[in-house]
Structure 1
Amino acid sequence: MPVPLYLLSVAVFAMGTSEFMLAGLLPDIAADLGVTVGAAGTLTSAFAVGMVVGAPLMAALARTWPRRTSLLGFVLVFAAAHAVGATTTGFPVLFTTRLVAALANAGFLAVALTTAATLVAPDRKGRALTVLLSGTTLATIAGVPGGAVLGTLLDWRATFWAVAVLCLPAALGILRGVPAQAVKREATGGPHLRSELAQLRRPRLLLVMLLGALVNAATFGAFTFLAPVVTDTAGLDTLWISVALALFGAGSFAGVTVAGRLSDRRPGLVVAAGGPLLLAGWPALALLAHQPAALLTLVFVLGALSFALGSTLITRVLYEAVDAPTMAGSYATSALNIGAATGPLLAATTLTTPAGPQGPLWTSALLVLVALLIALPFRAVAAPAPAPTLAGGEEAVR
């Protein structure tokens, strides 16, 4: 894989750490800025909304810029937002910085996904996406627990400063490693923005976006509320929360690594094998969560299955949006973050039901079931439709 891909993954690591780190910092932020924990929780919503809205908006804004310029600009804005957030004494300012950071994150990821696809051969997009998303999975393994420890030892502001500083080597890597060529402009034969947006009317593209969003909603619905399962259901000490989160992150890294070798040529195999296993896995975790050994084992396995299936579906978005070369990354980013935003909201409604802490796990199972039920009949309808082909002549969606 090209070196620039690994440089981009460093920035994705910093951004992934920022996206997930607030879960352990909200009480301190609320106490420091004089707001309720519920109000502090809106920082997470602001980031999610910024990611969903920002992906297509920022991609459209930057579609004719040189990719290196776009990526560098987004990283620097992201770093500056965290520096301002680390120094503010007012909650409205912090809220604004989270929204700005999310817009920068969304823009970066949209352009990075598109860039990653152009740095490799046309039939290796899945491998490229694996390298890029490894930054996110490593953030769940090391970045988020590390941020929690830093916030405990110092304060929440130190974690914000750490993310800002981490962006600097990423910016240097982008400046030195990412090609400076510009994206084709409409005047020189590149596709018109309207033409790229029209791709969203293609049923096959909408299908893989919907499936990717559903699987990601299941993933983050359970991941967000894993802590009460560890402490309340399994009866483990709070220290084990970090262990469980790290195991989920390690599983996700393994999942995207394995799927990256299959998602280009054998996406159907990943979906056919991973989908039913994931559907069985979430209820198994809900039923066995009171047994610590089973809990920790299943957390790793479900992290692997969730990210293997999710990354494969997001790779299919890039293939299906081949005629939207500057916007394809934003479609993939939007699918990811619509899931990340709606999954926890749906899962939260089950916490006060008789299911208790296991409620989000059952919600995740239901979301996976919906994804599989949608995929099965649609596969038969969409099979005859023309689709981009991969090396070896396989259809882009099987």
Structure 2
Amino acid sequence: MPVFVYVLSLAVFAQGTSEFMVSGLVPGIAADLSVSVAAAASLTSAYAIGMVVGAPVMAAWSARWPRRRALASFLAAFVVVHVVGAVTTDFSVLFATRVVAAIVNAGFLAVAMSAAAALVGPARQAGATAVLVAGVTLSCVAGVPAGAALGEWAGWRSAFWAVAALCVPALAFVFRSAPADAAERRDVSVRREARALRSPSVRRALVLAALVNGATFATFAYLGVIATGVLPAGAVPGLLAAFGVGAFLGVTAAGRLGGGWLVVGGVCALPLGWAALALAATHAVPLFVLAVVLGGLSFGVGSTLVGRVMHVAAHAPSLSGAFATVALNVGAFAGPLLAGAVTGTTGDYRDAAWVSAGLAATAIVLVARRTRD
């Protein structure tokens, strides 16, 4: 795998850490900026919305840019808004920096996916996609806990400074070794590439990716709450890390072994896995085991589906990464929202896993239709 793909993964790791670390910084932000905990928690939703909106807009806007210029511009903007966020004393400014950070993050990820695919060719596209997605999973395993620990030790602003600093080496490498490909991208037609969405195979892959990611985050968002009272005090972060370790292993395996059989088998196994977690969530050992297994299955299938989107949208090389980014973030936003509505009605947070099972079962219908077609 080209070294530059790993450079992109480092940047994705920093951006994934930024996206998820705020959940551990909410109390400090609320106290320091004199806002409610609910207001501070809204920074997470702001990021999710920015990712959904930013991916297609930024990918279309930068479609004719040389990839070096696009990647460097998005990453430099990401660094700047984190510096602004680290020094501001105004919550509205902080909120705005989260939206802007998400928008440029989405733009970077969309261009990075297309750049990696172009760099390695069709035969190694799945592996390159897995390396990029591994950056996100590693942020869950290492980046987010480290950000939370740093926030407790040196204040929430230090976590923002750390993310900005982490992006600087990647930015230097992008300036030095990113493909410029100016001549190739001058002829990009955004309108022509957008027509790729009309393809049934592209739409099916996008919906599958959204459903699988929605199922993943419907339960992941409530995993810590589900484990409260089941695990000893202080063990909940270990459970979340176990899920992240499973996710990393799943993405790594998918990059080496991924294919249509993994999508079919994984999607069929996911409803059973989420149902098992709902039933066994009151027991510590099965909860840990299922967290690892479901993290691996969910992210392994998810990264394979991202590669599938890139493959079936081959006629949209500049926008296919944006399509995939939107699908993943729609799932990440809608899954917890649906789980919140259900658990708010039933009063049992374990029902989030039943929501995941339902979303994954819906994905089976699409897989069956694709197989029949």
Determine which of 292, 306, 329 is the counterpart of 2:321.
329
Of 209-218 and 278-287, deviating more is: 278-287
- State the Cα distance separating 1:48 from its structure 2 match: 0.8
Deviations 1:333-387 (A, max 9, x none): 1111111111111111133343612121111111101111222124323xxxxxx
Determine which of 230, 233, 236 is the counterpart of 2:232.
236
Distance 2:306 2:296 in 1: 15
Distance 2:360 2:369 in 1: 15
Report the counterpart of residue 117 of structure 2 in structure 1: 117
Change in CA separation of 1:364 and 1:320 when aligned onto 2, cut-off 3 Å: same
Report the counterpart of residue 305 of structure 2 in structure 1: 313
Distance 1:155 1:209 in 2: 39
Distance 2:264 2:165 in 1: 42
What is the SS of the residue equivalent to 2:245? helix
8 Å CA contact 1:134, 1:256 repeated in 2:
yes
Change in CA separation of 1:366 and 1:183 when aligned onto 2, cut-off 3 Å: farther
- State the Cα distance separating 1:182 from its structure 2 match: 2.1
Distance 1:179 1:107 in 2: 17
- The alignment-based identity, stated in percent, is 50
What is the SS of the residue equivalent to 1:261? helix
8 Å CA contact 2:278, 2:354 repeated in 1:
yes
Which runs of structure 2 are paired with 1:121-140 in the superposition (5 Å)?
121-140=121-140
Determine which of 239, 259, 267 is the counterpart of 2:254.
259
Report the counterpart of residue 92 of structure 2 in structure 1: 92
Report the counterpart of residue 57 of structure 1 in structure 2: 57
| TM-score (norm: length of structure 1) | 0.91
Of 202-211 and 147-156, deviating more is: 147-156
Distance 2:125 2:133 in 1: 12
Distance 2:133 2:173 in 1: 17
Distance 1:92 1:121 in 2: 44
User: What's the RMSD between the two structures over aligned residues?
Assistant: 1.3
- State the Cα distance separating 1:183 from its structure 2 match: 5.9
Report the counterpart of residue 275 of structure 1 in structure 2: 267
Specify every segment of 5 or more residues in structure 2 that has no aligned partner in the other structure, as ranges. none
What is the SS of the residue equivalent to 2:125? helix
What is the SS of the residue equivalent to 2:232? coil
Which runs of structure 2 are paired with 1:214-229 in the superposition (5 Å)?
214-229=211-226
Change in CA separation of 1:223 and 1:164 when aligned onto 2, cut-off 3 Å: same
Structure 2 letter corresponding to 1:211: L
Deviating 4+ runs (over 4 angstroms): none
- State the Cα distance separating 1:131 from its structure 2 match: 1.0
Structure 1 letter corresponding to 2:269: L
What is the SS of the residue equivalent to 1:159? helix
- State the Cα distance separating 1:283 from its structure 2 match: 1.3
8 Å CA contact 1:278, 1:368 repeated in 2:
yes
8 Å CA contact 1:236, 1:292 repeated in 2:
no
Report the counterpart of residue 171 of structure 1 in structure 2: 171
Report the counterpart of residue 194 of structure 2 in structure 1: 197
1:35 has 2:39 as partner? no
Report the counterpart of residue 375 of structure 1 in structure 2: 367
Report the counterpart of residue 392 of structure 1 in structure 2: none
8 Å CA contact 1:351, 1:357 repeated in 2:
yes
